[in-house]
Amino acid sequence: MSQTKIGVLISGGGTNLQSIIDNINEGNINGSIELIISNRENAYGLERGKKAGIESIYINPKDYENEESFNRRLIDEFKKRDIDLIVLAGYLKILSKEFINKYSGRIMNIHPSLIPSFCGKNYYGIRVHEAVLEYGCKITGATVHFVDENTDTGPIIIQEAVKVAEDDTPDTLQKKVLKVEHRILVEAIKLYCDNRLTIDGRIVRTK
């Protein structure tokens, strides 16, 4: 089976990206990262990519007149490299409809809660864990899902729960959830690269 060509979009430190890189290097994923793009110049994920010998570029959204033209540039970069799968690894911008239509069923996102709880507009980063604690939840977790035209509403691939301790802070909870994120994102990518995922309406089935 030929390797899946992967493109990764990031906005920050890239710990999920590093997990993907490590698992590809260890032979756990039948794929290769062909391109990493960040919308933030100082995102450390770019350095992670460069250290791994992966083409890693910064594209400034402010250089484009609108979101559509910025997203069109992203599409062009991925098309040039025949990318099969797009992974959003801490990418904090909304993709355009054109982008999502172009790569329908081929874009994955990781979210630090059990969707449909604590997701959607304004729920990202530490804010998710603050909200979980404010609500008094006993369980939270992480979700990998395919991306559709709305925020965090695409078909769910994998979820895993994390217990909330009484003495958890947003920071400690974030660290616990991040460990799960690393594991299930890699698993979802592995399943995709092994051609084991099918989408049936809202249901993602594993062969």
In the predicted model, what is the mean pLDDT of residues 21-40?
97
pLDDT number for residue 34: 98
Instruction: For domain 1-103, say whether CATH 1.10.357.10 is its number.
Output: no
What pTM was computed for the model?
A: 0.95
- How would you classify the pairing of strands 4-10 and 85-88? parallel
pLDDT over 90 at 1, yes or no: no
In the predicted model, what is the mean pLDDT of residues 146-169?
97
Catalytic residues: 111
pLDDT over 90 at 162, yes or no: yes
pLDDT number for residue 70: 97
Question: H or E stretch including 15?
Answer: helix 15-25
Tell me how far apart the terminal alpha carbons of the chain are, to the nearest angstrom: 16
pLDDT number for residue 91: 94
Q: Where are the domains of the chain?
A: 1-103, 109-207
When the pLDDT of each residue in the chain is averaged and rounded to a whole number, the result is 96
Q: Give the burial string for 70-84 (b: 16+ CB within 10 Å, else e).
A: bbbebbebbeeeebb
Please tell me if the domain spanning 1-103 has the same topology as the one spanning 109-207: yes
Instruction: For domain 109-207, say whether CATH 3.40.50.300 is its number.
Output: no
| Amino acid letter for position 18 | Q
| Amino acid letter for position 144 | V
| 81-125 per-position pLDDT tens digit | 999 999 999 998 999 999 999 999 999 999 999 999 999 989 999
pLDDT number for residue 44: 96
In the predicted model, what is the mean pLDDT of residues 1-8?
93
Q: What are residue 87's phi and psi, to 5 degrees?
A: -115, 125
In the predicted model, what is the mean pLDDT of residues 156-170?
98
Q: What percent of the chain has pLDDT over 90?
A: 97
pLDDT number for residue 9: 98
Beta-bridged to residue 144, according to DSSP, are: 110, 158
pLDDT number for residue 50: 97
Cα–chain center distance at 119: 14
Q: What percent of the chain has pLDDT over 70?
A: 100
